[in-house]
Amino acid sequence: MNWLSRLKLKDIVSILRSRFLLLFFLTGSILPALAQVKFTTIASSKEIGRSDYVQVEFVVENAQQIDRLDHPAFQDFNIIQGPIQSSGMSIVNGVMSQYKALSFVLQPIKTGKFTIPGATATIDGKPMRSNPVTIEVNAGGSSTNSNVQPMPQPEWPGDPSDIDREYFIKPGENINEKIRRNLFVKVDVSKTSCYVGEPIVATYKLYSRVQSESRVTKHPSLNGFSVYDMVNPNNDAASVETVNGKPFTVHVIRKAQLIPLQAGTVNLDPVEIENTVHFLKSTTHQKKQNSSDARDIFDDLFNDNSANAVPVDQDITLESKPVAISVKPLPDENKPGDYNGAVGHFTVKASIESKNIRAKDAATLKITVKGSGNLSVVNAPAIQWPSGIESYDATTKEDIDKTIAPLSGSKTFQYDFIPNEAGDYTIPAIQLSYFDPASNSYKTTTAQPLSLTVGKAKKNKSAPPIAATNEYAAKETSNTVTDFLQDHLEWFFTILILSGLATYLLVQNRRLKKAQQAEQLAAAQAKQAAAMAELAKASAPVDRLSLPKQLLEANDYKGFYRELNRAIWNTVADKLNLPASELNKYNITLQLHAQGWDKATTSLLENILNECEMKLYTPDYSEQDIQRILQHAEDIIQALNKKV
């Protein structure tokens, strides 16, 4: 059974979970014994386009306990949806297994071939990692995913909404009629009659009481409107609405603010959605007196005839009904002469950014329009510039919240202007006329007049005459320097501050270099001292009897004999350079005799080894024997270090 089939059965079991809780507890205690624990990563596609979506799931099967499940970082993808947790059961050839899953809907950031690492989890007390998956992202769209739109996950039974979904095809029930009653798409509008320029809100929704996979194949064109989307359907959670007394899961396909551009009747184009609906149908021909009894459903799934329940898929294309919007023209009565199409409610404010303005210098007039309505299409108000001022076209900056209706925020117009002569100027009051649909009337908002004083233009200095006397030249030079300093005083202060900062940074850099050199010298000295210590330690003789002596001081006599025996064997092996396969009492005796050892010494060595072995199995300890054998061991080890 593929993964899709498992998802269908998960939904069924979720319905029964709240009604047969005790049975699921019993089932959960035996399921892990039926199948092996698995931890896998599943990708919906291995090759997608740059603008496509891919679903990645991390699935744990047949686990009794999951202490933690951590997903990897999706470095080359944006998370469009997730994490989404799910759990349930699957039935394969009559054998049940349980699973838990964590899934994400991803969109690639760039093209290329990317590997998503596996997730990590502690499963039944053991750390596990799922397999990595590789996804190739190309510039175009893939044939399978180009039309796929990620939809918010439905509310599963047992969640707060607890929608009683239609999963089963009952005997004699018409599947198309069942879908028609439980799956449909419609468009809601905030109003069906409005003025030109008055925003309305259109929301395309999918209503469902079935388990389905849905793909938007045709978006509404919405011709005749300026369109501003209010929500991202990929991130919008599903909601619940009641229709004809039954709760439905509702997915927002598109929610947009529409501003009509001309009068007349305008139809909102339908949205088209392809759906694959999943049902479960029993092949058992036995009629039951009460088909709605939950016990019948349970019997179909978990009794001996559970194999007779088979999944049934039905493809269907849904389309919303067109909605007609009646757009009324703006009234001509009392329309102001300066009206430029603003609809809503607004205020206007004007200011001049520059405080010290000279003739021939550029300055900026800022006009800010705030309010709600068709703010995005509001044009710059007309300005009556005084004589002697040269103006330029306005630039625009918007700060509009398009997620609320009507559009709200501000729109700022900036006018650059240049006064040609020094003097006092007044910019008359700036007006903005708009149509208020709430009162069906035109209104005007006004910004106060602005006064400004323009200073004299900066003088253009010329060189003194060639025939000027030295006194005249010196005076003229002094005046020129004074004027230059006055005109560029801020630059001198800036240069002075930057020079001081550069000097400070230079001094700090030198101090830092000296500190780094001192640290490097200290590290080198420490490294040399450590090396000398290691060399001295390596050249010192190994005291193989230190551990036996420690055990003796702790009155661990058995440990003393064990480590003493090991110390002697290790010393003999090192000095004779014998492999472990040749280490035995007979062989080492021959080797020592060949190197000039007398028989008495080799006999003493053999006696020490025999006594140590005997004491390990016949614990009869005496202080006299321990001191004697320790002294003999020291003599033997000292002799080995000297002679061999």
Q: Provide, rounded to the nearest whole percent, the portion of the chain with pLDDT above 90.
A: 20
Q: Provide, rounded to the nearest whole percent, the portion of the chain with pLDDT above 70.
A: 75
Enter the tokens of residue 153. Answer: 């996950």
Q: If pLDDT is split at 50, 70 and 90, which confidence band does 617 have?
A: confident
The CA-atom distances, in angstroms, between 76 and each of 40, 72, 364 are 20, 12, 44
Confidence (pLDDT) at 539:
39
- Residues facing 455 on adjacent strands: 358
pLDDT in tens, 41-90: 999 889 999 888 899 999 998 888 887 788 998 989 998 887 887 776 65
Please say if the pLDDT value at position 623 is more than 90.
no
Mean pLDDT on 474-484: 55
Mean pLDDT on 564-580: 83
Greater pLDDT, 105 or 237: 105
Greater pLDDT, 15 or 489: 489
Q: Which amino acid is at 457?
A: A
Confidence (pLDDT) at 135:
94
pLDDT in tens, 159-217: 334 455 677 888 888 888 888 889 999 999 999 999 999 999 999 999 999 888 888 88
The yes-or-no answer to whether 3-138 and 338-455 have a common fold is yes
Q: Average the pLDDT over each of 49-63, 393-407, 486-500 and give the range with the smallest value.
A: 486-500
Mean pLDDT on 569-577: 83
Confidence (pLDDT) at 48:
92
596: left (phi over 0), alpha (psi -120 to 50) or beta: left
**Which residue do the tokens 């007349």 mark?**
264
Greater pLDDT, 163 or 470: 163
- Are 185 and 253 a contacting pair, CB within 8 Å? yes
CA 237 from centre of chain? 17
- Are 636 and 605 a contacting pair, CB within 8 Å? yes
Q: What single DSSP character describes residue 343?
A: B
Confidence (pLDDT) at 27:
40
Angle between helices 557-576 and 623-643 (to 10 degrees): 10
Confidence (pLDDT) at 13:
40
- Are 12 and 298 a contacting pair, CB within 8 Å? no
Confidence (pLDDT) at 293:
43
Q: 378 in helix, strand or coil?
A: coil
Mean pLDDT of the chain: 78
- Are 576 and 644 a contacting pair, CB within 8 Å? yes
Among 323, 328, 325, which residue's Cα sits nearest to residue 192? 325
d(CA 13, CA 17): 6
Confidence (pLDDT) at 86:
76
- Are 135 and 48 a contacting pair, CB within 8 Å? yes
Confidence (pLDDT) at 112:
93
Neighbours of 457 (CB within 10 A): 14
pLDDT in tens, 423-469: 888 889 989 999 999 899 999 999 889 888 888 887 764 444 444 44
d(CA 282, CA 307): 9
Mean pLDDT on 7-17: 42
Confidence (pLDDT) at 35:
62
Confidence (pLDDT) at 345:
92
- Are 571 and 544 a contacting pair, CB within 8 Å? yes
Report the CATH architecture of 338-455. Sandwich (2.60)
Greater pLDDT, 482 or 429: 429
Which uninterrupted H or E stretch holds 53? none
Confidence (pLDDT) at 133:
94
CATH 2.90.10.10, applies to 3-138: no
Kindly report the CA angle at 159 between 157 and 161, in degrees rounded to 5?
85
Q: If pLDDT is split at 50, 70 and 90, which confidence band does 501 have?
A: confident
Q: If pLDDT is split at 50, 70 and 90, which confidence band does 525 have?
A: low
Q: Average the pLDDT over each of 216-220, 322-326, 577-581 and give the range with the smallest value.
A: 577-581
d(CA 341, CA 31): 69
d(CA 296, CA 15): 13
d(CA 318, CA 207): 11
Beta-carbon contacts of 279 under 8 Å, excluding residues fewer than 6 positions away, are 166, 167, 168, 169, 175, 178, 210, 311, 312, 313, 314
Tell me the domain boundaries of the chain. 3-138, 168-326, 338-455, 460-538, 546-643
Confidence (pLDDT) at 26:
36
Confidence (pLDDT) at 4:
37
Q: If pLDDT is split at 50, 70 and 90, which confidence band does 230 have?
A: confident
Residue 527 backbone phi and psi in degrees, to 5: -65, -40
Residue 607 backbone phi and psi in degrees, to 5: -65, -40
Q: What single DSSP character describes residue 110?
A: S
Instruction: State the first-to-last Cα distance of the chain, in angstroms, to the nearest integer.
Output: 74
Torsion angle, alpha carbons of 228, 229, 230, 232, to 10: -160
Among 253, 163, 170, which residue's Cα sits nearest to residue 209? 163
Q: Which amino acid is at 53?
A: Y
d(CA 369, CA 348): 5
**Which residue do the tokens 């009565």 mark?**
333
**Which residue do the tokens 């229709």 mark?**
243
Confidence (pLDDT) at 485:
62
